[in-house]
Amino acid sequence: MKELSEPARLAAPAFIAVSSVFHYLGPAFAVLLFARLDVFGVTWLRIAGAAVVFAGWRRPWRLWPRLTAGQRRVLLGLGLVLAAMNTMFYLAIARLPLATVGSVEFLGVIVLAAAGVRSLRNALALGLAVAGVVTLTGIRLAGEPAGFGYAFANCALFMLYVTLGHRIANTRSRDGSPVSGVDQLGAAMLIAAIVTTPLGLGYAAPAFTHPVWLLAGVAVGICSSVIPYVTDQLAMARLRRATFALMLSILPACATVIGLLVLAQLPTVSDLLGVALVIAAVAVHQQPTRHHEREETRCGTSV
């Protein structure tokens, strides 16, 4: 990974913080829409609304001719992952508290973070993150097995999102010129909208006769799939994949706070303890220095 200036390193946590807040703020509002529309309809409005924003803002189809066959396959894969991940996530939060789904979602990211542990300090950070997520989750499968099934499916898909998203964060076209990760994200979102339309459009149809519902669905898309995914790309371009994954441990904490403020889902004492452990993990974690990154690259161990 190329060397980064100190301001660039400091900007990455800010991007992750913004992403984490909006990652669950949008879905929290989506839960309120579930009283009006089917889950599949809300999911489609989220994806389609985000695709429209990306289309008008970035016109991502212009980059397609510049990409190699391999890069196009990555974008197709990311589009399919976004479609499936958002659907599984909404099916889960329709059945489980937002904090619980957020905790399960992070479990897969722990695997990605573990692959990049290179120091005792980062190992400690990973341990604190695991303890915090386990404390937050409080899994009781007997209560809602279908909900947890969807949550764990979303967890696996979120791992793929992080992996594929990191691949498009720093890429070059066939002629060697840089390719914007945000533009590639926009192309993937258009693919996701196409994939989900056959299933979701019919369920979303009632919103087209209720402007407030329609605007709410588009707002959910902006909050859920534009702001957080764009800031993810900005952070991925500045961080190693394992570091980015570990810093996402703030997700369960954000889910707990937003679940409380928006959905009145009161946290328990164990929830608050879990939040504290997750925050401690992020504080303890150390991004590798330029010297360490050069050494890892020289030894062939860079993630």
Segment 275-282 mean pLDDT: 74
Q: Which amino acid is at 148?
A: F
pLDDT tens for 48-71 read: 999 999 999 999 999 999 999 999
Kindly calculate the radius of gyration of the chain based on its CA atoms and give it in whole angstroms: 19
Q: What angle do CA 58, 64, 66 make, to 5 degrees?
A: 110
> Are the beta carbons of 182 and 15 closer than 8 angstroms?
no
pTM, 2 dp = 0.83
**Mean of the per-residue pLDDT values for the chain?**
84
Q: Tell me which DSSP letter residue 223 carries.
A: I
pLDDT at 205 over 80: yes
Q: Where are the beta strands (DSSP E) in 138-244?
A: 171-172, 178-179
Most confident among 72-86, 147-161, 228-242 (mean pLDDT): 72-86
Rounded to a whole number of angstroms, the distance between the first and last alpha carbons of the chain is: 9
DSSP notation for 3-30: ---HHHHHHHHHHHHHHHHHHHHHHHHH
Q: According to the per-residue pLDDT averaged within each range, which of 9-18, 165-174, 183-192, 245-254 is highest?
A: 183-192
Strand pairing report for 171-172 and 178-179: antiparallel
Is the model's pLDDT at 46 over the cut of 90? Answer: yes
For residue 18, the one-letter residue type is V
Out of 127-141, 150-164, 284-298, least confident range: 284-298
Residue type, 137: T
Pairwise pLDDT comparison (225 vs 173), residue with the higher score: 225
pLDDT bucket at 90, cuts 50 / 70 / 90: very high
| pLDDT, greater one: 10 or 38 | 38
Report domain extents, the chain: 6-299
Residue 143 has pLDDT above 70, yes or no: no
Long-range contacts of 9-12 (CB under 8 A, 24+ apart): 9/238, 9/287, 11/234, 11/238, 12/234, 12/235, 12/238, 12/239, 12/244, 12/247, 12/287
